C-alpha cells in the first residue's frame, strides 16, 4: 500500500476504510460512511426478524447491544479504530477511519 494511505490525518473522520492488498495483485478498497453507524443505531428496529434471529443464533443480542452502547461512544471508539496487518508473504490489510 502506498505510504500516504497508511496515515490517518482527518480529525473528524467520515468513513471507515477496509483496504487489502495481496501479493497476488488482488486489491480490495471499501469505504463505509460512519453516518451508517449512527443511522443503524437509530433504525435498528427495521432489521428483518430473520436477520435478528440469525444474529441471536450466533449469540449476538442486538437489542441489548443497542441499549447498552451509547451511539456517541460507539462512534468515538470507531474513530480511533486502526488495524494494520502485514502477512509473511507481503499481503497487507488496513482498517481505519478517515
Residue-range definition of the domain harbouring residue 77 = 15-97
pTM tops 0.85? no
4 assigned to some structural domain: no
- Could you state, in chain order, the average pLDDT of each consecutive group of 10 residues for the chain (98 residues)? 48 87 92 83 81 91 81 79 92 92
93 assigned to some structural domain: yes
3-state secondary structure the chain: CCHHHHCCCCCCCCEEEEEEECCCCCEEEEEEECHHHHHHHHCHHHCCHHHHHHHHHCCCCHHHHHHHCCHHHHHHHHHHCEEEEECCCCCEEEEEEC
- The total domain count for the chain is 1
2 assigned to some structural domain: no
Amino acid at each position: 500500500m502506498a505510504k500516504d494511505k497508511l496515515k490517518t490525518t482527518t480529525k473528524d473522520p467520515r468513513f471507515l476504510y477496509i483496504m487489502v492488498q495481496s501479493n497476488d495483485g488482488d486489491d480490495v478498497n471499501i469505504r463505509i460512511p460512519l453516518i451508517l453507524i449512527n443511522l443503524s443505531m437509530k433504525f435498528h428496529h427495521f432489521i428483518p426478524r430473520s436477520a435478528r434471529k440469525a444474529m441471536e443464533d450466533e449469540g449476538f443480542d442486538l437489542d441489548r447491544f443497542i441499549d447498552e452502547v451509547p451511539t456517541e461512544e460507539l462512534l468515538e471508539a470507531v474513530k480511533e479504530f486502526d488495524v494494520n496487518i502485514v502477512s509473511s508473504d507481503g499481503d497487507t490489510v488496513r482498517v481505519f477511519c478517515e
